[in-house]
Amino acid sequence: MTLDTVKHAEQTPEVEQPWKELGLKEDEYARVREILGRRPTGAELAMYSVMWSEHCSYKSSKVHLRQFGEKAPRSDAMLVGIGENAGVVDVGEGYAVTFKVESHNHPSYVEPYQGAATGVGGIVRDIIAMGARPVAVVDPLRMGAADHPDTKRVLPGVVAGIGGYGNSLGLPNIGGELVFDACYQGNPLVNAGAVGVMRHEDIHLAKASGAGNKVILYGARTGGDGIGGASILASETFDATKPSKRPAVQVGDPFQEKLLIECTLEAFAEKLVVGIQDLGAAGLSCATSELASNGSGGMRVELDDVPLRDSTLSPEEILMSESQERMCAVVEPDKVERFLAICEKWDVIATVIGEVTDGDRLEIFWHGEMIVDVDPRTVAHEGPVYERPYARPSWQDTLQADDAGRLPRPEGGDELREQVIEVLGSPNLASKAWVTDQYDRFVQGNTVLAQPEDSGMIRVSEESGLGVAIATDGNGRYAKLDPYTGAQLALAEAYRNVAAGGARPLAVSDCLNFGSPEDPDVMWQFVEAVRGLADGCQVLGTPVTGGNVSLYNQTGEAAIHPTPVVAVLGVIDDVARRTPIAFADEGHLLYLLGETREEFGGSAWSQVVHDHLGGLPPAVDLERERLLGEILISASRDGMVDAAHDLSDGGLIAAVTESCLRGGHGARLVVPDGLSAFTFLLSESAGRAIVAVPRSEELRFTDMCGARGLPATRIGVVDGEALEVQGEFTIPLDELRDIHESAIPGLLG
């Protein structure tokens, strides 16, 4: 077979090319030809096809994501914003924190263990590429119905994969979510977040500058795994009639990644690196074109020098391979020797594969012949941009008119007790220990808070106690009812969770999981959610620093609920001042902060008791969220509260239950005037939290709430061995614990 060189491509314009099989549309292929002024070579076609895929190019979402930048609130904390591998935020004392959430949805459905494992691997490399030491991971998961047989295949595999990879890297897993809903049956969502810490001066960016600087590929050898992962797997709807996509999933090796972390950080510490990029989706195609595109010069790469696992790989396959645990660094010539020595110290294979040139082309050679000659910007940044048509779905009004407030409510204390137990024992509200006990939450010795706390919190400085907190939240049911509000509710919940632990929210990352953008209904959901999130961040003063969009979460005609998952990062001056969720001491007074309204649309109660989804989600008042956050942070810092827990799905009863069980103490609750017991316990009004206040602090605390205008209602006391709602029902702690802890093991164990 003739090698398809640039020269050959010029001479054979009429050759049929498999652009369709590689996922390009006809007009996209025509555009490639127009850019090059000839047909692309096979290698160029491979590069364009992966880099112009939905997954890599954000072609459907780009025009909307701009709002995150345009509406971003001014924040002095922002050091690196959208567009880099991950955003970077100043947390004080010279420390900076980088964090990001990403999806690995499609691979995890096809091959749960490896899909989830490599999801962790990819997000961690993004963090290292910024110059930071990874310090924690979180994993928001959404699965099909808990009792569906396929959930038993996917979930244990996903959990084992996340644990198998993350545990072996030595990264504490401190948070995340697990939500079950039939809408995710054919499209489970496996999102992965990571947090990294560095000094300000250590921030690194993905750019190749300085003619003559060497391009070094290091880490694992390149194999045939994951070819087309981004373009074929993550950018198309699943279809039962097509052949298996199993080979498109990558296989991870956490041991190799651990070595990669250590040797990269050591090279950073010795200031050996000019620019760096990890190899994730689209592999070398992405790394070389992005590095060259972001830098000042061009790049020349000798593909023959890439270490291979399989010597029969074609140049196209080498460029497209998504073999894991690889990174690409740009290093000045006189530092190459030292860089290679560090790699050798960590038993990491490192090879110079090219250099930065003073031109503006990315040129790739194979067996001495040029097979790629492109302007790297056209590959990496100037891909197609679509203004996909969108329209409010015809069914949206009917859905919203189906008010959950009209559902039959429990009559009397006994029926209320029954329904409360049903809700607390439902898989979405039950204890997730079966999952989280398979993750190492202790490693690195800086974990201050971890699941089931409201947020995960990590100590950054042993000297000062400076720490960071992260929480991720999302509620597809709310977003289905109203995507704009749903996105803001996700933001508000994550914000509240961070504040409840005592940390000040600083910045946001998001993972936007939706169905096919080619469906105007789905596209409308996406547009609304992005607008809601961007508007919300503006009010809360927390800029979006980066994130990820996952589209085509759809099997046939059925799309998932629109599921924006929002991560909020916060900072706390001294982790000794953190506030846990546990009711640790008898006699502490329970206060409900915020207002409770009759809001049941999308609620856990409507789902569990009535299998209903309709009406409107809870109303959002972001100014109120901000005030609540300030009160929670002040109370935490000044030692006015002993416990705090945000109220979200499952309402007050779910939060009180978790706090009681965590602390091993019961509580006596009194239904406040003007509320029915049912609404008090099960409404999901936003902007609320419960706090446990020592009696000695009561006056100071209520004065503060009064002065700031935050409603604070005394609702009971931490007491005894049962959860009692006066005049309604009592549930002994042991029974409560059994309900809470046995549900998930019963389904999966």
Known catalytic residues?
Answer: 55, 104
Output phi, psi for 439, to 5 deg: -110, 145
Q: How far is the CB of 65 from other proteins (least distance, A)?
A: 36
**Binding residue ranges for substrate:** 103-106, 125, 250, 322-324, 550
Q: Which of residues 716-745 bind other proteins (CB under 8 A)?
A: 737, 741
Binding mask 413-452 for other proteins (x = CB under 8 A): -----------------------xxxxxxxxxxxxx----
SS3 string, 297-363, reads: CEEEEEHHHCCECCCCCCHHHHHHCCCCCEEEEEECHHHHHHHHHHHHHCCCCEEEEEEEECCCCEE
**β strands within 181-254, DSSP E:** 189-199, 214-219
Identified binder of other proteins from the candidate list 10, 93, 239, 255, rule CB under 8 A: 255
Binding mask 155-174 for other proteins (x = CB under 8 A): -----x--xx--xxxx----
Q: Nearer to other proteins by C-beta: 459 or 480? A: 459
Binding mask 546-585 for other proteins (x = CB under 8 A): -----------------------------xx---------
Q: Nearer to other proteins by C-beta: 458 or 691? A: 458
DSSP string of 507-537, one letter each residue: EEEEEEE-S-TTSHHHHHHHHHHHHHHHHHH
Taking the CA atoms of 614, 616, 622 and 628 in sequence, report the sign of the dihedral they define. negative
**Binding residue ranges for Mg(2+):** 102, 126, 278, 548
Q: How far is the CB of 259 from other proteins (least distance, A)?
A: 6
Q: Rg of the Cα trace of the chain?
A: 26
Report how far residue 740's alpha carbon sits from residue 678's, in angstroms, rounded to the nearest whole number: 20
Start-to-end CA distance of the chain, whole Å, equals: 54
Q: Nearer to other proteins by C-beta: 166 or 483? A: 166
**Binding residue ranges for ATP:** 58, 100, 510, 547
- Stretch in the footprint of other proteins (CB under 8 A) among 180-188, 253-261, 543-551, 606-614: 253-261
Q: How far is the CB of 20 from other proteins (least distance, A)?
A: 40
Q: Are 93 and 222 in contact (CB under 8 A)?
A: no
Q: Nearer to other proteins by C-beta: 228 or 580? A: 580
Strand 275-278 versus strand 544-550 pairing type? unpaired
Q: Nearer to other proteins by C-beta: 196 or 383? A: 196
Tokens of 676: 């029915």
Count of residues of this chain found to bind other proteins when the rule CB under 8 A is applied: 34
Coarse DSSP helix, strand, coil percentages of the chain, rounded to the nearest 5 percent: 40, 25, 35
Q: Nearer to other proteins by C-beta: 152 or 714? A: 152
Identified binder of other proteins from the candidate list 90, 225, 236, 253, rule CB under 8 A: 253
Q: How far is the CB of 299 from other proteins (least distance, A)?
A: 31
Q: How far is the CB of 652 from other proteins (least distance, A)?
A: 24
Q: Are 135 and 196 in contact (CB under 8 A)?
A: yes
Identified binder of other proteins from the candidate list 258, 388, 496, 626, rule CB under 8 A: 258
C-alpha dihedral over 115, 118, 123, 125, to 10 degrees?
-160
Q: Does 344 bind other proteins (CB under 8 A)?
A: no
Report how far residue 517's alpha carbon sits from residue 235's, in angstroms, rounded to the nearest whole number: 10
Residue 334 CB partners (closer than 8 Å, separation 6+) = none
Tokens of 481: 């009812």
Q: Which of residues 379-398 bind other proteins (CB under 8 A)?
A: none
Q: What does the binding site for other proteins look like in residue numbers (CB under 8 A)?
A: 160, 163-164, 167-170, 253-256, 258-259, 346-347, 436-448, 459, 462, 575-576, 737, 741
